[in-house]
């Protein structure tokens, strides 16, 4: 147990899927897993373990932002011996080619903070996803005829900005195709602890077209991404 997770060590699977919203974790676990058990509810950050095609999988909420996922993913890797974490979340598109509900298989994450320097001792502004998980996701997607968009994600520390056009400079400098708030910290923890991490994102809104989805739509309609993550997880 840790200050933030009260699960027994044996109740956490070796592979964890991490949505940001704990209620989304609940929905995913109850919809897709069998033999589901609630294993953590401290701070209402729900974590569930069950089986998917007979393989143990944990679905764990991460909260919003690098500090939150930084705590939970570090503790899962370090104290619960988790080997693989796949973040499954939503993102805002920076690219006209990325439409609402398109799926991004993240190649790397650009971070606007010094999280990686502090936790892993590296100064890189872009951290890569674990290559073997990335490739597994691509192979599963291709077999299932699911279109994915590999790309760099902007892991932002700020949701409400004074300069609303900052994203244009970040897109140009780092070739970022979309924005979210967590992947950079997840990848830094994996690097620091010699673990594996990847991110799948469904586009929930577009900086180009202005199209948006509701929280309910994001919770209930991202099935294809979740199924892709689960099918990839059982191959790890």
- pLDDT band at 38; cut points 50, 70, 90: very high
Report yes or no on whether pTM surpasses 0.85. yes
Give the pLDDT of residue 148.
Answer: 97
- Examine the residue annotation and report whether 166 is marked as an active-site residue of this protein: no
Residue 220 has pLDDT above 70, yes or no: no
Strand extents, DSSP E, 124-188: 126-128, 148-155, 176-180
Bridge partners (DSSP) listed for residue 179: 92, 154
Mean pLDDT for the chain? 95
Q: For the segment 121-131, what is each residue's pLDDT rounded down to a tens digit? A: 999 999 999 99
Domain ranges of the chain: 9-234
Q: Which of 11, 21, 95, 205 is catalytic?
A: 205
Helix or strand holding residue 29 (H, E): helix 22-32
Q: What's the rounded Cα separation, in Å, for the pair 128 and 105? A: 12
What pLDDT score was predicted for residue 231?
98
Q: How confident is the model at residue 196 (pLDDT cuts 50, 70, 90)?
A: very high
- Is-contact 203 99, C-beta < 8 A? yes
Q: How confident is the model at residue 82 (pLDDT cuts 50, 70, 90)?
A: very high
Report the pLDDT averaged over residues 182-210: 96
Q: Which tokens hold the place of 118? A: 């502090």
Residue 96 has pLDDT above 60, yes or no: yes
Residues 168 and 175: their CA atoms lie apart, in Å, by: 10
What's the CA angle centered on 144, arms 143 and 147, to 5 degrees? 100
pLDDT digits (tens, 9 = 90+) for 131-183: 999 999 999 999 999 999 999 999 999 999 999 899 999 999 999 999 999 99
Q: Which CATH superfamily groups domain 9-234?
A: Nucleoside phosphorylase domain (3.40.50.1580)
């Amino acid at each position: 147990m840790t200050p933030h997770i009260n699960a027994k060590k044996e109740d956490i699977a070796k592979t964890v899927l991490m949505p940001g919203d704990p209620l989304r974790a609940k929905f995913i676990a109850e919809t897709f897993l069998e033999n589901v058990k609630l294993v953590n509810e401290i701070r209402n950050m729900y974590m569930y373990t069950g089986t998917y095609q007979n393989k143990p999988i944990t679905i764990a909420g991460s909260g919003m932002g690098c500090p939150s996922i930084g705590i939970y993913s570090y503790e899962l890797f370090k104290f619960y011996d988790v080997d693989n974490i796949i973040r499954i979340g939503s993102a805002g598109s920076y690219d006209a080619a990325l439409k609402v509900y398109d799926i991004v298989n993240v190649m790397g994450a650009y971070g606007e903070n010094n999280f990686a320097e502090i936790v892993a001792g590296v100064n890189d502004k872009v951290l890569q996803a674990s290559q073997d998980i990335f490739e597994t996701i691509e192979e599963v997607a291709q077999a299932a005829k699911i279109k994915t968009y590999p790309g760099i994600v902007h892991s932002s520390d700020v949701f409400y900005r004074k300069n609303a056009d900052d994203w244009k400079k970040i897109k140009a400098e780092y070739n970022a195709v979309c924005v979210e708030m967590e992947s950079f910290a997840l990848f830094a923890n994996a690097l620091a602890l010699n673990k594996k991490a990847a991110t799948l994102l469904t586009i929930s809104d577009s900086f180009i077209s202005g199209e948006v989805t509701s929280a309910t739509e994001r919770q209930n309609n991202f099935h294809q991404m979740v199924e892709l993550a689960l099918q990839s997880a059982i191959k790890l």
